[in-house]
A and B are shown apart, each in its own frame.
Chain A
Amino acid sequence: MLRESHTAIVARNERWEGEAATEPFEAGWASEAIFFLRALAAEGPTGEGRAHVQISPDGIRWVDEGTSTTVPARTEGIAVLRVAHFGSWLRLRVSLPAGARLTPIVTLSLKA
């Protein structure tokens, strides 16, 4: 049996300011995941923002997994967050400083 693999688009062309998060994504079948946070547009000091992977016991309550990185500072920049051993749910939380506005596309690459 080939390893299951799936690419999910979990946010696309939204306008993020301040605190934002992707919708919960259930992927208990996967053992590894990569979030690609690509800036379709970056306005203001987006590069001072942080992106954090979050995990959840139930898809409702969220805790930081510990993996984080800076948000792309410019349009077409891509941030990468790799995780494994994450349980059943994943989402990406982004915190942006005042005056920053991000139009993201978030790709979640999953593999069994």
Chain B
Amino acid sequence: MSATLQELRLADPRLSRFDPMRRIICFDDFDRGYCGWTQLVGNYEHTLDSMTASYATHTHPQLATVSHWDAGTHGGVDGTYALKIATRPKRGIRSTAIKRLTFRQAGPIRLEFYFTFKPEATEPRLSETDVRSVGFLYDLQTGYEQNGLRVMPHIRFLNAQDGHHIQRWQYKDETTPLRQIGTEGKTVTHDHLAPFGWKDVPGGEQKLCYNEIPTKINWHYMRFDFDLAAMRMIEMQCNDRRYDLAGIPSIVMPAMRNLWCMLNLVFFAEADADKRVFLYVDSVCLSGEF
């Protein structure tokens, strides 16, 4: 990247908090709207009853002002709105938001975003163990001329489990068996976010700022580098810590006939109490080295 391009980006207040690769694929500032982020609905055929139950309970993402009963509007990183992923109030449940793209260059890509998370402030106590995890994943498939793989790198910050404050980055390389949907032989499903198979990223403990009451939030920086040519993770960074992901596997399965060059981005949150939990994201920058 040229020094001039670097200087231009550092002088642009929308981009100066990011370190994008050469080409910005999309920049989602939620003060401009939803920017293509939507509800992840489960697959079905003929009837909605054929949808996997854990997908059926996903909620619709919201443009949130991060407002609370005691202090009013918190706002986003640099404006009023953030993308909010909210679960239902049930322990172990999850919710997601998705953006669906395809890629044109199988090379390195970089996902950067700012995020924070909190449980719904239904109690006047810190409630720091009510959010089980927040995380992100890609749902990828190689191009038709590549090696015929669907690849799903998953990363989560395991904040708490069973009331214990854990604060550790994890990855997942297992999913459920494929299940045929309907009768036409065109649709299958699997629950890649099913709550099993999470493994620790080596050295993945990280103490994040979570403040002192349930309505005070602080934004965290996240960067995730992935190579679409090798279909391998490279590295990630959260705030001041970097993690080498070169040896970290993804969920891998044979390619599906209808998903070539798929580049889906997903954020998710999981609850560890019978309480809604919220993942907020503001903003997202996806870039590629091409």
Contact = CB atoms under 8 A, between A and B. Distances in A.
Nearest to B62: A26
A62 to B, nearest CB: 13
A60 B63 contact: no
Contacts of B77: none
B67 A13 contact: no
A33 to B, nearest CB: 13
Interface residues of A, number: 21
Contacts, number: 55
B16 to A, nearest CB: 23
Contacts of A23: 59, 86, 88, 276
B168 to A, nearest CB: 29
Interface string A10-51: 101100000000011111110000000000100000000000
A58 B68 contact: yes
Given A23-B86, A58-B68, A40 B63 contact: no
A20 to B, nearest CB: 13
Interface in B49-67: 49, 51, 56, 59-60, 62-65, 67
Given A12-B56, A23-B86, A60 B62 contact: no
A26 B120 contact: no
Contact of A10 (B60, B65, B69): B60
B122 interface: yes
Interface residues of B, number: 26
B34 interface: yes
B56 A13 contact: yes
B51 A13 contact: yes
B17 to A, nearest CB: 23
A11 to B, nearest CB: 10
Given A58-B67, A60-B69, A9 B33 contact: no
B37 to A, nearest CB: 11
A63 interface: no
A57 B68 CA distance: 9
A58 B60 contact: no
B146 to A, nearest CB: 34
10 contacts: A4-B33, A6-B63, A9-B39, A12-B48, A13-B56, A23-B59, A26-B65, A29-B80, A59-B67, A60-B69
Interface of B: 33-34, 39, 41, 48-49, 51, 56, 59-60, 62-65, 67-69, 80-81, 84, 86, 88, 120-122, 276
Given A12-B48, A23-B88, 13 more contacts: A8-B60, A9-B39, A9-B60, A13-B49, A28-B67, A29-B81, A40-B48, A58-B68, A59-B120, A60-B69, A60-B122, A61-B69, A88-B65
